[in-house]
């Protein structure tokens, strides 16, 4: 695996390559990231990964400074997989050589709800850096995980509206045996919090089962989960059942006609903010 730190080096390595598969990350890699690399290898050649902690997507009171940076360990993990041809690991001066005055702002219908409402600049930061990375890498396909469900949809919408020639592939959420979605932020959990953390996914499963059993008052179902989390010491931001296709609330008749749904949630457990989601069909 070749490790490059400049855009010029990256483009030299990829000159003439027409089937590049790309996996952008912020590093601190774990098993879920490595699964993304393997999926990318199935759909393109060569595979390019990037590691860049993007300041633009962190709010003023978020964990940019303490976000784990483990480049040497990440390199070893990627080399062990043998799926990645080039790792692009730029510093901030390389990717943002001047103030980034041109920024991508997702629209209200997708970018300003759920995560966008609680983290106002998050999707602006994600969209801007992804577009910049796509410009550097010029991939044919790019792989994103479903754990960041709304992010996946924002990136797809950006590619569609800017007519970018990049196919966005979605990888299923990778979980520990107890159901907790793998995340770099899981390392912030204390032992007691780590034991409690799978509760979030368990409650999403309860929402799915409740809707499938015929209950249709979604605000009541969502409020019950919020209350349950609070009673267990969590600080929930949202629990929301939405249509998979656009993350808008389903209409009453759609609940009985098989509209594919997803329940999404975000909540703090101690100092760690966890997000998760679960896709489901009502009629299954």
Active-site amino acid positions: 33
Q: Which tokens belong to 112?
A: 């300003």
Longest dimension (CA), the chain: 57
Contact indicator for 269, 234 with CB cutoff of 8 Å: yes
Q: Which tokens belong to 210?
A: 């409740």
Alpha helices in 99-239 (DSSP H): 108-111, 115-118, 122-137, 149-161, 191-196, 199-212, 218-231
Contact indicator for 203, 275 with CB cutoff of 8 Å: no
Among residues 111, 178, 168, 151, which one has the least CA distance to residue 277?
151
The DSSP secondary-structure symbol of 256 reads G
Q: Which tokens belong to 8?
A: 């010029």
Q: Which tokens belong to 267?
A: 């909540």
Give the β-pairing of 260-269 and 272-281. Answer: antiparallel
Give CA–CA dist 234/252, Å, rounded.
30
Give CA–CA dist 83/22, Å, rounded.
11
The strands making up 47-51's β-sheet, listed across from edge to edge, are 2-4, 86-88, 47-51, 21-25, 141-145, 167-171
Helix (H) or strand (E) holding 3: strand 2-4
Q: Which tokens belong to 224?
A: 């019950």
């Amino acid at each position: 695996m070749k490790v490059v730190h400049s855009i010029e080096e990256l483009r030299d390595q990829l000159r003439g390559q027409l089937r590049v598969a790309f996996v952008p990350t912020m590093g601190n890699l774990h098993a879920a990231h490595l699964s993304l690399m393997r999926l990318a290898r199935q759909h393109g050649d060569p595979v390019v990964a990037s590691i860049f902690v993007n300041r633009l997507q962190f709010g003023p009171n978020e964990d940019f400074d303490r976000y784990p940076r483990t480049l040497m360990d990440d390199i070893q993990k990627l080399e062990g997989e043998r799926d990645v041809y080039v790792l692009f690991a730029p510093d901030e001066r390389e990717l943002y050589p001047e103030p980034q005055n041109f920024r991508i702002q997702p629209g209200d219908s997708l970018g300003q709800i759920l995560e966008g409402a609680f983290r106002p600049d998050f999707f602006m930061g994600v969209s801007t850096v992804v577009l910049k990375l796509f410009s550097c890498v010029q991939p044919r396909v790019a792989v994103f995980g479903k754990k960041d469900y709304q992010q996946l949809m924002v990136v797809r919408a950006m590619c569609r509206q800017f007519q970018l020639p990049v196919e966005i592939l979605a990888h299923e959420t990778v979980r520990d045996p107890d159901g907790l979605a793998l995340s770099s932020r899981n390392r912030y959990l204390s032992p007691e919090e780590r034991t409690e953390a799978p509760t979030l996914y368990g409650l999403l499963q309860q929402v799915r089962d409740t809707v499938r059993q015929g209950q249709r008052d979604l605000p009541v179902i969502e409020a019950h989960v919020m209350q349950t989390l609070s009673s267990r010491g969590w600080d929930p931001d949202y629990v929301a059942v939405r249509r998979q296709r656009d993350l808008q609330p389903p209409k009453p008749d759609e609940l009985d006609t098989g509209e594919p749904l997803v329940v999404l949630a975000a909540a703090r457990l101690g100092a760690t903010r966890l997000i998760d989601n679960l896709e489901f069909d009502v009629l299954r």
